[in-house]
Amino acid sequence: MRTTKAAFLTVVLALVLAAPAMSLAQRNRQGMGRDRGFGGPGGLAANFEAVAPAIGEPMPDVVVYDGEGTPHRLPDLLRGHYSVLIPGCLT
Amino acid sequence: METIERDYSPKGVRFFYVYKALAHPGLNGYVQPVTLEERLMHVAEAERTLGSRVEWLADNMDNELKRALGDVPNSEFVIDPDGNVVVRRNWSDPKQLRADLGELVGIVENPTSVSDLDLPRPEFAQPTVATGVVPRVRPPGRMRPVQMTPTSSKNDLPYYAKLRVEVDPAVISGGDGNMYVGFHLDPLYEVHWNNLAPQPEFAFTAIPDGVEITPASAVFPDVEVEADADPREFLLDSFLMRLQTTDVGEQLLPPLCGGRGIQIPFDDLG
């Protein structure tokens, strides 16, 4: 176990106020408000319906990385076979 | 999901988990990765804790895939060989997924059950020093996370601790509210606070016109034990952002402050 060498930390609060501003923009576009929940108007489910690829549409052409850190275009990984894709995380 | 993978991989179906930004930062001690290298560390941690055979991919650090898939925490997609979506679900449903695959590539007569698999019991990273010795800060209400912009790390050291900042939703629309500032040790680095050294402090600098912060700097109080892994948290009494307009949708303000120390990009929906 290492001890943090940054025991005395002068913090860079590189606080980009654009972030909350953009969050609001997204909220407006996506219908998310203070009452954001999963279902119902303005909820995450509605956002999913509006944003996620529809049936018959291709998956987004974005770069993802394999476990070794090698970049791949997502569509390249999905062609030629049926695929199941599930986003997830540790929390 | 593991049983479905066992049954349908032989039929040519490929399964992918895509590691995305944390849905609930802080849960089980995990904090939001700052770099792709750290996200890949999370992938390795997920592989370790879940023991899954499913191949993991990682979203890029702009979280493009997460956003493009609607920002929901537990969706699932089935894609045909031409790369087009044939099933999409905003909440994963393994039973329905098995039925979907049965229609698409054929039913499995004797499906695998969970008891057939020797899956490990998830064991999350645990600190090896004291925890629970520093009282946690409880914001008065629901807070909104703020995106952080990383700057260069001194001596290229890893981001042992991550900065998390949240504000009262009223602040976003140009009002007054509380601000949460917290430093969370990253359990994947297995580090602890050395309380024989000075405690962390924060200082806002280059505060733009129209923004007031009280206090603008603070030092964390001394901690009795020599080492611990608890977050160092501050709840600022007042963070006031006076804007010329209430519509801040596309308004870009300059960075509030700068200097050296810890930086973290914070996912705005994380």
Q: How far apart are the first and last CA of chain A?
A: 24
**Counting Cβ atoms within 10 Å, is residue B41 exposed (0-12), middle (13-18) or buried (19+)?**
middle
Q: Contact at 8 Å (CB) between B36 and B65? A: no
The closest of B162, B182, B187 to B263, measured between CA atoms, is B162
Q: Touching check for A39 and chain B: CB below 8 Å?
A: no
Q: Contact at 8 Å (CB) between A30 and A51? A: yes
Tens digits of residue pLDDT in B17-66: 999 888 887 787 888 888 899 999 999 988 888 888 899 999 999 999 99
Comparing CB atoms, the residue among B21, B90, B191 nearest residue A48 is B90
A91 and B67 within 8 Å at the Cβ level: the answer is no
The Cβ of residue B180 has, within 10 Å, a number of other Cβ atoms equal to 22
Q: How far apart are CA A48 and CA B123, in angstroms?
A: 31
Q: Touching check for A60 and chain B: CB below 8 Å?
A: yes
Tens digits of residue pLDDT in A31-40: 333 334 566 6
Tens digits of residue pLDDT in A32-79: 333 345 666 667 888 888 899 999 999 999 999 999 999 999 999 999
All residues of chain B having their beta carbon less than 8 Å from the beta carbon of residue A25 are 249-250
B59 and A87 within 8 Å at the Cβ level: the answer is yes
B36 and A81 within 8 Å at the Cβ level: the answer is no
Domain ranges of chain B: 2-116, 126-270
Q: How far apart are CA B237 and CA B178, in angstroms?
A: 5
Angle, in degrees to the nearest 10, between helices A44-51 and A18-30: 80
The Cβ of residue A37 has, within 10 Å, a number of other Cβ atoms equal to 13
